[in-house]
Amino acid sequence: MKESYIRVFYRPVLSNPLLVEGLPGFGGVGEEAARLLIEFTKARLFAELYSPDFPDYVIVDDSGICNLPRHQFHWARQDDIDLVILTGDTQPQPEELPAYYEVCGLIMDFAQELGCKFVISLGGVPATRGRHQVYIASTLPSILESLKEDGVAIYRNGRIVGATGLLPGLARIYGIQGLCILGATNRPFGDREAGFRVFRLLMKALKSPAVRSAILRP
């Protein structure tokens, strides 16, 4: 394998699609929230992304079957919106900065090809104050205002690393708006409670008039 590629099993018929990313990251928050979304919507796998920038091992399942590390795209319809949910086993190594841009660029190319008009990324952030806090950042001020409530704060003067930060950032270059939802956690992995808090705000965001306006625009 010389370059990253996406293997498509079938192409769902999409109407008003958006991309939701929940890849492995700090606290396992984003992947837990994405898992809950897949279970809640009964989403179906339709494509996988493989890359030589992923770690050099295979993942062996409980049947003894080997699989390369991969990203997976699931599809589900939620009311009048189609969700393209991105999960995965890994991300590129932290020191391989160009690899992040290459893989995330491929993801955005695929999202644009599918007609996605909005990107929501999910992740975790180290808790500095309240461990039950959820933070939001966006490409549109109106979205931030629509989602502020008790326990939700705007993420200010910081950095969001990995795909969780790059995808909304790259989205602007593609003419797509974006939202990032971060759950505060003091655990390095497996924080299911923070994942649930992010999932709960995600479900609210999908009904927000500001978010829906960005998704349903002509």
Taking only the tens place, the pLDDT of each residue in 119-171 is 999 999 988 766 689 999 999 898 998 898 878 999 988 889 899 999 999 99
Q: Are strands 152-154 and 177-185 parallel, antiparallel or unpaired?
A: unpaired
| pTM metric for this prediction | 0.94
48-94 pLDDT tens trace? 999 999 988 999 989 999 999 999 999 999 888 999 999 999 988 77
| 3 state DSSP class of 94 | coil
Question: What is the model's pLDDT at position 2?
Answer: 86
Query: In this predicted model, which residue has the larger pLDDT, 214 or 182?
Result: 182
Read off the pLDDT band of 186 (50, 70, 90): confident
Give the residue numbers spanning the domain of 40: 5-215
* CATH number, residue 80: 3.40.50.10900
Backbone angles phi, psi at 88, to 5 degrees: 175, 175
11-61 pLDDT tens trace? 999 989 999 999 999 999 999 999 999 999 999 999 999 999 998 899 998
Sheet holding 17-21, edge to edge: 5-8, 44-50, 71-78, 81-88, 17-21, 118-126, 177-185, 134-138, 152-154
Count helices and strands in the chain by DSSP H and E runs: 6, 11
Read off the pLDDT band of 214 (50, 70, 90): confident
Question: What is the model's pLDDT at position 187?
Answer: 83
The total domain count for the chain is 1
Question: What is the model's pLDDT at position 202?
Answer: 96
Question: What is the model's pLDDT at position 129?
Answer: 67
Beta-carbon contacts of residue 98 (< 8 Å; ≥ 6 apart):
none
Question: What is the model's pLDDT at position 79?
Answer: 86
